[in-house]
Amino acid sequence: MTTTAVSPALLTDPGLHADGDPHAVWRWMRAHAPVHRHEAAAELPAFWSLTRHGDIRAVYRDAATFSSARGVLLRSGDDPGGGMTLALTDAPRHKQLRGLMADWFNTRAVRGLEGYIRAATRSVLGRAVELGRCDFADDVAGRLSLSVICHILGIPERDHEDLYRWTNEAFEAHTSLVSHPMLVEYFMELLYQRMEEPTDDLVSALVNGTVGGELLTEEEAVFNCENLIGATENGRLALIGGMQAFLEHPEQWQRLAADRSLMPGAIEEILRWTSSATHSMRVATRPVEIRGTRIEAGDRVVLWLPSANRDEDVFTDPYVFDITRSPNRHIALAAGEHFCIGSTLARAEMRVLFTELLDTVGRIEQSGPVRRLRSIEVGGPESLPVRLTAK
């Protein structure tokens, strides 16, 4: 393998993630350039790449030194939602916002949601089986993940199809959800409704709860709704990527079918294997050294999560998909203060979906080529054509 063939500069090319092998680049960087400086190019600012599990975990766990407030994705300029959403705030506001939302995503809340998740799963699978040939990305995973978060937010079921169409349009255009006029208009109207008549849902909590003794502004409430809806893209990519992994490793599917006690481990391995959040960014608040390299205050630091979850120092046979892997210290859902608030929900969706597939679907076959996302932000199949046959 030559240095040229695995140039770190390739990582900012969406084409590499869609049609190439970014893992070849990350593997080389872990061995030869685990802390690598990228100069400003095209529309992207200068930044540092981290590719080792230990370094990335350490950055996640030091939120005082590595700030999220200016944005958590590599882009030109700061994120317009900076300082307003759960993902884009630092202490103490991050903890206050998290407290406002936590009760909707904790273990007890998710346990109470399982009936809804199961009903939604059976609905999308029933429709997919009727179709025979379908796109697992669109017809199953996408609809399921959006339906669940819409239910938590309090969006009426009659509006789910509109929300699904609008969010897909934004995802496909690789733009922020708040740039979609119909989506923003919908949430503004919903916010006003919940201000006047609160109900038992997360939107009501956002517009009527307080953070630091004050109500959120309308802009903050809308950005947080967008943040929660946008996070479903990672969830659905994990579902799609998990299905693809089982199709490519049928012996693992057979093991799970024969022993359902393997499900928790299978879920963790899917999270590690898919690592659907391709990168997360932080901005250094003070000068700091990582592996002897000095990073200055204000520097952007990009954490490549799929690389961390293939680190040979942490995982035995990291390029093997093994549902019995133990231990499995992946950081697909981040770590530290910004550990994914929806982690319990994501695991529940995976558990219910794959259980229902095992119980109700007799045969699952890939029926066309997989198309991967052209993105440096999230990774996985954009399209996974399958044929489902009922038992």
The CATH number for 348's domain is 1.10.630.10
In a domain, 333, yes or no: yes
Number of domains in the chain: 1
Residue labelled with tokens 């198309």: 371
In a domain, 22, yes or no: no
Hey, is 104 helix, strand or coil?
helix
Give the domain extent around 198. Answer: 31-81+88-390
Average pLDDT of 342-355? 97
- DSSP-derived letter for residue 367 is -
Q: Which amino acid is at 242?
A: G
In a domain, 3, yes or no: no
- DSSP-derived letter for residue 41 is B
Q: Between the CA of residue 358 and those of 54, 90, 177, what are the distances in Å?
A: 36, 42, 34
Contacts of 9 (CB under 8 A, 6+ apart): 38, 41
Q: Which of 189, 202, 199, 192 is nearest to 228 (CA)?
A: 202
| Alpha carbon distance 176, 169 (integer Å) | 10
Q: Which amino acid is at 171?
A: F
Average pLDDT, the chain: 94
Instruction: Calculate helix-pair angle for 343-360, 250-258, nearest 10 degrees.
Output: 90
- DSSP-derived letter for residue 38 is E
Whole-number pLDDT of residue 86: 93
| Alpha carbon distance 309, 166 (integer Å) | 32
CB 178 within 8 A of CB 170: no
| Alpha carbon distance 69, 88 (integer Å) | 5
- pTM for the complete prediction? 0.95
Q: Tell me: the pLDDT tens digits for 42-51?
A: 889 999 999 9
Residue 182 above 90 pLDDT?
no
- Vertex 75, ends 281 and 346: CA angle to 5°? 50
In a domain, 6, yes or no: no
Average pLDDT of 145-164? 94
Q: Tell me: the pLDDT tens digits for 246-272?
A: 999 999 999 999 999 999 999 999 999
In a domain, 384, yes or no: yes
Q: Between the CA of residue 132 and those of 190, 248, 278, 363, 385, what are the distances in Å?
A: 36, 20, 32, 11, 11
In a domain, 25, yes or no: no
Residue 107 above 60 pLDDT?
yes
| Alpha carbon distance 186, 327 (integer Å) | 44
Q: How confident is the model at residue 4 (pLDDT cuts 50, 70, 90)?
A: very low
Q: How confident is the model at residue 62 (pLDDT cuts 50, 70, 90)?
A: very high
Contacts of 278 (CB under 8 A, 6+ apart): 17, 22, 304, 305, 306, 375, 376, 377, 378, 379
Residue labelled with tokens 């319990």: 344
Cα of 6 vs its chain's centroid, Å: 26
Average pLDDT of 312-328? 98
Cα of 202 vs its chain's centroid, Å: 20
47 - beta bridge partners? 38
- Extract the tokens encoding 77: 């300029």
CB 172 within 8 A of CB 138: no
Residue labelled with tokens 């999220």: 68
In a domain, 21, yes or no: no
Average pLDDT of 52-56? 98
Residue 296 above 90 pLDDT?
yes
Over pLDDT 70: what percentage of the chain? 98
Whole-number pLDDT of residue 3: 39
CB 367 within 8 A of CB 133: yes
| Alpha carbon distance 163, 147 (integer Å) | 9
Q: Average the pLDDT over each of 112-116, 226-230, 385-389 and give the range with the smallest value.
A: 226-230
In a domain, 8, yes or no: no
Average pLDDT of 64-92? 92
CB 326 within 8 A of CB 353: no
Whole-number pLDDT of residue 79: 85
